[in-house]
């Protein structure tokens, strides 16, 4: 189960970490730092949100996502494709297998694709 993973990798299972894991277990869409912070404002500091997200990412429990409006998005599952509304930032995930053919309720204007890896120089 999820909660063991943190301990297994030598991290403490603290209240803020629990709260953010719970947040993601209740939510299927990606979330920005601010969305997470707003949801937990009463309970944890914003700095802590950043730090917890960094740890959870390191441990592989959440993943960074590209988003248009606010800069960093995170999600509980690694997903490679999404459509993002340019106006309100609404983000919808597309399973790879379905891809273009399944886009609904969106007038697609353009796409951007980035393949990140290591160039010859940096690959040692």
Partner DNA sequence: AAAATAAATGCAAGTCAGTTGCTTTTACCT
Partner DNA sequence: AGGTAAAAGCAACTGACTTGCATTTATTTT
Interface residues toward a copy of itself, by CB under 8 A: 65-66, 68, 71, 80-88, 90, 92, 103, 105-123
17 binds DNA (CB under 7 A): yes
C-beta closer to a copy of itself: residue 1 or 123? 123
Q: Which of 34, 35, 79, 92 binds DNA (CB under 7 A)?
A: 34
Rg (CA), the chain: 16
Strand partners, 63: 75
Q: Do 91 and 84 meet the contact criterion of CB atoms below 8 Å apart? A: yes
CA–CA distance, 32 with 110 (Å, rounded to integer): 22
Q: Where are the alpha helices (DSSP H) in 9-71?
A: 15-25, 33-40, 46-59
> In the structure encoding, which two tokens stand for residue 103, read together?
């886009």
Strand partners, 31: 74
Tell the smallest beta-carbon distance from residue 87 to DNA (Å).
Answer: 16
62 binds DNA (CB under 7 A): no
Tell the smallest beta-carbon distance from residue 72 to a copy of itself (Å).
Answer: 11
C-beta closer to DNA: residue 13 or 78? 13
Tell the smallest beta-carbon distance from residue 46 to a copy of itself (Å).
Answer: 20
Could you tell me the sign of the dihedral formed by the alpha carbons of 37, 43, 48, 54, in that order? negative
Interface positions with DNA (CB under 7 A):
7, 11-17, 32-34, 43-48, 50-52, 54-55, 70-72
């Amino acid at each position: 189960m999820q909660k063991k993973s943190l301990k297994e990798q030598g991290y403490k299972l603290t209240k803020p970490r629990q709260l953010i894991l719970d947040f993601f277990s209740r939510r299927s869409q990606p979330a920005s730092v601010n969305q997470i912070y707003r949801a937990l404002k009463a309970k944890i500091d914003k700095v802590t949100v950043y730090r917890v997200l960094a740890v959870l990412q390191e441990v592989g429990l959440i993943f960074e996502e590209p988003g248009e409006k606010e800069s960093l998005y995170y999600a509980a599952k690694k997903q490679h494709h999404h459509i993002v509304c340019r106006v309100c930032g609404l983000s919808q995930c597309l399973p790879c297998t379905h891809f273009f053919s399944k886009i609904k309720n969106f007038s697609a204007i353009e796409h951007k694709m980035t393949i990140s890896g290591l160039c010859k120089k940096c690959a040692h």
